[in-house]
């Protein structure tokens, strides 16, 4: 299931969730499976990056079409292609626009799924 060549392949669009937790809760697994299904149906790739090697994914996620699992961070995977990655940040000063779809091939969601309000609060 892991695809170490994801960053080097020509892909229409790639959506990445940087999985920053040591565990995977059931609701996250359901969210990831839905994103994988929808991405696959649209001809796009969905990647979970920074997945700890010891983390065992639920069977449904292991079998999800279109899902790529990476143990490395996006920073490492796209080190030489950072200009192709759009960080989707709710605190960004510039809003996402239709032109960004032409400018970027990769859209990164990191630390925003399920962290509102922030866990430390």
Looking at residue 11, its pLDDT comes to 45
Q: Which domains does the chain have, with CATH numbers?
A: 7-110 (3.40.1280.30)
Rounded distance between C-alpha atoms, residue 95 and residue 37, angstroms: 26
pLDDT, tens only, 41-67: 999 999 999 999 999 999 889 888 989
CA geometry: angle 3, 109, 7, nearest 5 deg: 30
2, β-bridge pairs: 69
pLDDT, tens only, 80-119: 999 999 998 877 888 999 999 889 999 998 654 455 555 5
107, β-bridge pairs: 15, 86
C-alpha of 88 from chain center: 11
């Amino acid at each position: 299931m892991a695809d170490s060549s994801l960053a080097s392949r020509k892909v229409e669009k790639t959506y990445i969730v940087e999985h920053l937790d040591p565990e995977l809760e059931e609701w996250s697994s359901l969210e990831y499976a839905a994103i994988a299904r929808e991405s696959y149906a649209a001809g796009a790739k969905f990647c979970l990056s920074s997945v700890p090697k010891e983390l065992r994914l639920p069977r449904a996620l292991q079998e999800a079409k279109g899902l790529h699992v990476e143990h490395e961070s996006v920073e490492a995977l796209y080190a030489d292609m950072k200009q192709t990655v759009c960080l989707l940040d709710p605190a960004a000063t510039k809003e996402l626009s239709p032109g960004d779809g032409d400018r970027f091939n990769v859209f990164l969601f990191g630390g925003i799924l399920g962290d509102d309000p922030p866990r430390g609060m």
